[in-house]
Amino acid sequence: MHSYSLIAPAKINLHLEIIGDRPDGFHELVMILQSIELADQIDIQANSTQKINIHSNHPQVPLDETNLAYRAAQLMCEAFPDVYHNFGGVDIVIKKNIPVAAGLAGGSTNAAAVLVGINMMWELGLTQPELQGLAAQLGSDIPFCVSGGTAIATGRGEKLDPINDLDNLWLVLAKYSNLSVSTAWAYQTYRQQYSSTYISEEKDIKSRTAKLHSGPLVSAIIHKQTKEIGKLLYNDLEKVVLPEYPQVAQLRSAFAQTEILGTMMSGSGPTVFALCESEEKAVRSKHKVKEAINDPNLDFWVTRLSSGGIQVGASGES
Ligand code: ATP
């Protein structure tokens, strides 16, 4: 088969803790990552040329080699030169539904879809761990995007321990269309303000990781104690993003006044999510916040948690 259509889900962070600096310049993180049903569609097709071409319906998506989907295809071409010469380059069409630069891993999940899609299209037979090994070379969130579901992520975010899926909860996401936060800025600012609290000893890092593994949020997820999950959401990056972007803080406070399980900024923001017990409650919460803030630039999505990573789309192979 020479073309595939893939569904590439976004993610939210149920927990994001920055614990130190790494020798490679990245931060040492302890996170719980969760896939959601809001997803992009990625169509890939062998084009019998030497080129990788990107097309997208979204003006903010780069169409050159800075696109993570392009870099994923380039990595596959470099890793499997003989197969590349046989099939030629790839046309990649990105139908964007996930807001861009929103803390939802939009670019990362597109790259994960391209790795999974090329693996199928070129009949490489790579296993999920092998695909995740390639994914880790491209970006910290990409290995998680390949497998999805609910997982504890450590190291740069690339070391994954899957936990019970939490696919029964709904959520509302809200983002100002005229506001985006640079992930690099958020982490640099955190380092400037909080590096005195960083730990670096291997044993301290291990004990911090173990603390999350045996801690109340993971226990609440395993036992599906939804009220507890809502109360235990955590994100260190709120400490730097909320003071700089008061609109995001205001949005979070508005959600907190509605009937939800809990609310938090996702990743480096500026998207805020609110976990809800049902679709009805998610829709009600959305309407209340919309009414309270009343800003035409504020966009909302009602969606649910998802137990899967990259999926072959409805149209499947062609
Ligand atoms: P993360 O949560 O992984 O930090 P994000 O959701 O905050 O990512 P992205 O949507 O991945 O952010 O976009 C961040 C920047 O990456 C964009 O401003 C854009 O220039 C660039 N980018 C590269 N590839 C893509 C892609 N496939 N889709 C969207 N943005 C991309």
Each residue's pLDDT, cut to its tens digit, for the chain (318 residues) gives: 689 999 999 999 999 999 999 988 899 999 999 999 999 999 999 998 999 999 999 999 999 999 999 999 999 999 999 999 999 999 999 999 999 999 999 999 999 999 999 999 999 999 999 999 999 999 999 999 999 999 999 999 999 999 988 878 999 999 999 998 999 999 999 999 999 999 988 899 999 999 998 899 999 999 999 999 999 999 999 999 999 999 999 999 999 999 999 999 999 999 999 999 999 999 999 999 999 999 999 999 999 999 999 999 754 444
Catalytic residue (choose from 40, 43, 141, 165): 141
Question: Nearest residue CA, atom 25 of ligand 1?
Answer: 107
User: What is the rounded distance in angstroms from the CA atom of residue 13 to the CA atom of residue 235?
Assistant: 8
Amino acid (one-letter) located at 249: A
CA 61: distance to chain centroid? 16
Catalytic residue check, 141: yes
Rounded Cα gap, residues 261 and 257, in angstroms:
11
Residue type, 247: Q
Q: How far is the CA of 240 from the centre of ligand 1 (A)?
A: 20
Q: Whose CA is nearest to atom 28 of ligand 1?
A: 107
Tokens 């509302």 sit on residue: 172
Amino acid at 43: D
* Local structure of residue 305 (DSSP, 8 states): B
Query: Could you tell me the end-to-end alpha-carbon distance of the chain, in angstroms, rounded to an integer?
Result: 6
Q: Atom 23, ligand 1: which residue's CA is nearest? A: 67
Q: Probe ligand 1: pick from 57, 61, 182, 265, max atoms within 8 Å of CB?
A: 61
Q: How far is the CA of 106 from the centre of ligand 1 (A)?
A: 5
| Token couple for 218 | 């993971």
Active-site residue, 24 included: no
Which helix (H) or strand (E) segment is 152 a member of?
strand 150-155
Specify the residue with its C-alpha closest to ligand 1, atom 14. 101
Whole-number pLDDT of residue 1: 65
Kindly give the distance from the C-alpha atom of residue 107 to the centroid of ligand 1, in angstroms, as a whole number.
Answer: 4
Atom of ligand 1 nearest to the CA of 69: 27
Question: CATH 3.30.230.10 region(s) of the chain?
Answer: 2-164
| CATH 3.30.70.890 residue spans of the chain | 170-304
**Nearest Cα residue to atom 9 of ligand 1:** 101
Cis peptide before 270 (omega within 30 of 0): yes
Q: Which CATH class is domain 2-164?
A: alpha beta
CATH 3.30.70.890 fits 170-304, yes or no: yes
What ligand 1 atom has the least distance to the C-alpha of 181?
7
Please provide the DSSP assignment of 211-257 as one string.
HHHTSHHHHHHHTT-HHHHHHH-EETTHHHHHHH-HHHHHHHHHHHT
CA of 31 to the centre of ligand 1 (A): 19
- What pLDDT does residue 314 have? 55
- DSSP-derived letter for residue 182 is -
In the structure encoding, which two tokens stand for residue 20, read together? 């130190």
H or E element, residue 13: strand 3-21
Distance 95 CA to ligand 1 centre (A): 14
Q: Determine the pLDDT at residue 316.
A: 46
Answer yes or no: are the C-beta atoms of 166 and 249 closer than 8 Å: no
CA 152, CA 13: separation in Å to the nearest integer?
10
Tokens of 230: 């809502």
What phi-psi label fits residue 103: left (phi over 0), alpha (psi between -120 and 50 degrees) or beta?
Answer: left
Tokens matching residue 209: 């990781």
- List all residues whose CB is within 6 A of at least one atom of ligand 1: 61-62, 66-69, 94, 100-108, 110, 141, 183, 267-268
Residues in the chain, how many?
A: 318
